[in-house]
Structure 1
Amino acid sequence: MRNFIIALCCIFSINLFAKSIEVTDVLDRKVTLNLPAKRIVLGFYYTDYLAVGGVKSLDNVVGFSKEVWTDWTPTSWDLYLKALPQLDKLADVGEVELSTFSVEKVLSLKPDLLILAAWQYEIIKDELDVITKAKIPIVVLDYNRESVQRHVKSTELLGLITGEEKRAKELINFYVSTVENVEKRIKAANVKKPKIYIEFGNVGPQEQGNTFGKDMWGSLIDLAQGDNIALPYVEKWLPISNEQVITSNPDVIIIAGRETELKKNKDAMVMGIGIDKDEANKRLKAYLNRDGYKFINAVKNNRVYGIYQGASRTLADAAMVEFIAKALYPDLFRDVDPVKTYIDFHKKYLPVVPTGTFAFQVY
């Protein structure tokens, strides 16, 4: 009898603190959630989930798309795994881009919530009916668009999901105030927007890597008040020709890199966790030898930079807005240290503090 009463009290306590609310996600979908969520499958945005929810929020994750983390940024995965060994115990539900995402695996985990990135949802939305019929709510987030509005909305949703609304508001204030400070300084200076070109250097200087229109680095260029030379030719991300870059004559060139290519491609740009700055600089300088680049203003004036691809699509990309703005308007941001902003973000909100090369000017 005593055990029965205790069980009833536990159930009553859970129901007392649980609440059913309707939220609107980034795609304007109405979703009813029972909060706090206790069994979450996480499709993407792992570090943002941890930044908002804290380390304890990982206790409520039962599965995730593992390859997006382990294969795209293995050095980051290794760093987090050392700090959070429980990551290795989470079920893998497959990866959307590789067509290995398994609806059956998701169902077997009996989650009370599936979180997907907008790009994931758009690819597999026709496969998700069985999850909806199983009454498993799906919430869509989007940090890929790199807009203040979607960063804020996604963070608000994560705050609700993890029960950390106060922490979410703090992060939103950090992001919004950082971007607003950039905008105010440039607006007050009343100067012409410099032209800028950003390329993902994962294929090396012999090929044109993707540049960005309205998404990812392209959106961050907008926040940093730059004139993106790719915008007339690229909607999201695609390469543009070497000739077009030369004709557009950007004032600033930024080549993005990540750790993955360090051993895979000796010519590709590398940046990020554990990357030596001299190695990154050597690879960046190779881009200056492209045909015709010596005539580009950015090269003639030594305004060429490396940036970390992994520092995009996340709340921490506020630091990259600062870095792009400083590259564009160096006199307006002499007192700003974007790399310090990036590291301080990790110190305050995440369980790891990365070391390596995250943003620099060619030397």
Structure 2
Amino acid sequence: MKMKIVRYILLALMLLFCMGACDSARAETITIIDGMNRSVEVPCPPERIVSTTASASELICIFGGMDRIVGRDEYSTFPYDLAEKPVVGSYSKTTNVELALDLQPDVVISDSSMLPETIKQIENAGVPVVVVGMNCELDSIIYNIRVMGEMMGDQKKSEELIGFMQKYTDLIQERTKSLPEDEKPLVYHECKEDKTNAAGTPKDDHVNFAGGINIAHDEAVERPVVSREWVLEKNPDIIIAKLSSSDPDTEEALKLKRDEVISRPGLKDTNAVKNGTVYVYHPFLRRGPRLVGYLLYFAKWSHPELFEDIDPTAVEREMLQKFYGVNPKGTWAYPEI
């Protein structure tokens, strides 16, 4: 009789242990404030994630969530293993709801381009949608890091990443904050051939942040098309152009683009071309936390004497190795200075 009682007690204890283990295995839910200032309840961490914006995809991977991403947008291709994940749309705005829901996600991550009706369809299916900010604005990137770090349950790493970035952005601000206007170079930043950026755009902010003056700052539209005669009249000290996202990140591709820019009629007579201060970068640099390397390049191009001790490429590679866990390849800016 005593042995039976002992067996029942042991069985009860085993059941209680199993129930406790199941409860602890369940993901907790937390409430986060997303980029549209909405309160969204999400699992922490979610087991199955559809990310429709590169802004979030690479951050989820930084926080150890590569295997949790079950669907992505076309632009979520870094870290490189993301390219093997199913695509549910070109980007957030064109998300195919049926494809996304077929992947049985616990949460869908989007940027602000996702249509309200798409968000409603997904949420009506019982799946929360978290909207994140842009991936080329410093404040927005820091916000995204914190939100994704909280959702993935890795606030410690998110603060380490933010600290790494702020170390260098603070350095840029410290070294350029007292520059008089006449020591700031005039910069022509070309986003596409004969198209540039005015006030209110991230690229205008980047030029100013690095201690330069955007020659298109006062134009009436945010992304004006300009003539080469207009550029020559403004006579920039520095010209910055970029490859397209589909171009290879090689020195050859960057050099070809630079050669094309400096050979254009009308630009050949600018101070930038005469002095050899024409630079080209790959958009790989400008996304998410990688923006820190991009801003360091801008600062060194604008004020090489102030940033002689800084190697933007080395900083970028350090960040990729430390936080992304990848051995970086490619050339992202040309020429090196």
Q: CA deviation at 1:109?
A: 2.1
CA contact (8 A) 1:39 1:111 kept: yes
The CA distance in 2 between the partners of 1:112 and 1:282, in whole Å, is 45
Per-residue CA deviation, residues 287-323 of structure 1 (Å, 9 max, x unaligned), is: 1121211221211221111111111121011011011
The equivalent of 1:47 in structure 2 is 58
**Residue 185 (structure 1) shift:** 0.5
Corresponding residue of 1:268: none
Cα shift readout 1:258-295 (whole Å, capped 9, x = no counterpart): 46246xxxxxxxxx2xx1x2453243122112121122
Answer whether contact 1:284 1:362 (CA < 8 A) is retained. Answer: no
Distance 1:26 1:232 in 2: 29
Identify the range of structure 1 (338-347 vs 224-233) with the bigger mean alpha-carbon deviation. Answer: 224-233
Indicate which of 207, 214, 218 corresponds to 1:221: 207
TM-score, normalised via structure 2 length: 0.85
CA separation of 1:332/1:141 partners in 2, compared to 1, >3 Å: closer, same or farther? same
2:69 to 46, 61, 80: 61
CA distance in 2, matches of 1:343, 1:181: 18
The whole-number CA distance in structure 1 between the counterparts of 2:200 and 2:21 is 50
Q: How does 1:85-100 map to 2 (within 5 A)?
A: 88=84, 90-96=85-91, 99=94
Partner of 1:107: 101
Is residue 2:121 matched to residue 1:140?
no
Of structures 1 and 2, the one with the larger relative CO (CA 8 A, separation 6+) is 1
The 1-side partners of 2:253 and 2:122 are apart by: 46
For residues 49 and 357 of structure 1, the distance between their equivalents in structure 2, rounded to whole angstroms, comes to 25
The alignment of Structure 1 onto Structure 2 pairs a total of residues equal to: 323
Q: Mark the runs of 5 or more structure 2 residues left unpaired by the alignment.
A: 1-10
Give the letter aligned to residue 150 of structure 2.
Answer: L
Normalising to structure 1: TM-score of the pair? 0.80
Deviates more, 1:152-161 or 1:223-232: 223-232
Instruction: Give the Cα separation in 2 of the matches to 1:234 and 1:335.
Output: 38
Name stretches of at least 5 consecutive residues in structure 1 with no aligned partner: 71-75, 202-206, 263-271
Name the % identity.
26
Change in 2 beyond 3 A, CA 1:212/1:107: farther
Matched with 1:175 is 165
What do the CA deviations read for 1:106-130 (whole angstroms, capped 9, x no partner)? 2222222111123x32xx2232211
- Aligned 1:1-363 pairs, distance under 5 A: 8-15=19-26, 18-45=27-54, 46-51=57-62, 53-54=63-64, 57-65=65-73, 67-69=74-76, 80-81=80-81, 88=84, 90-96=85-91, 99=94, 101-118=95-112, 120-121=113-114, 124-144=115-135, 146-190=136-180, 192=182, 193-200=184-191, 207-209=193-195, 211=197, 213-233=199-219, 236-237=222-223, 239-258=225-244, 260-261=246-247, 272=249, 275=250, 277-361=251-335
